[in-house]
Amino acid sequence: MDDEMYRPDHASHTATTAHVDDRVQFLVVGDESSLSELEAELALLPLCARGRVFVEVGDASRVVPLATPMRMTVTWLARSRRSGRPGTGERCAPGEAGTRAVRAWCDEMLCDGPGETRAIVTGGYSLATEVRDHLIHAVGMSPAAVSAPAAR
Mean pLDDT on 29-51 = 95
Q: Is the pTM of this model over 0.85?
A: no
Give the single-character DSSP code of 93.
Answer: P
What percentage of the chain exceeds 90 in pLDDT? 68
Mean pLDDT on 106-124 = 90
Cβ–Cβ under 8 Å, residues 147 and 128: no
Which runs of E-coded beta strand occur in 63-149? 71-78, 117-121, 146-147
Does the structure show a pLDDT above 70 at 13? no
Does the structure show a pLDDT above 70 at 17? no
Spell out the domain ranges in the chain. Answer: 21-151
Calculated CA dihedral for residues 141, 145, 150, 152, nearest 10 degrees = 160
H helices, E strands: number in the chain: 3, 5
CA distance linking residue 90 with residue 12, whole number of Å? 55
Single-letter code of the amino acid located at 105: W
* pLDDT tens sequence across 45-97: 999 999 999 999 999 999 999 999 999 999 999 999 888 777 777 889 999 99
**C-alpha angle 23-65-70 in degrees, rounded to nearest 5:** 25
CATH number assigned to the domain covering 21-151 = 3.40.50.80
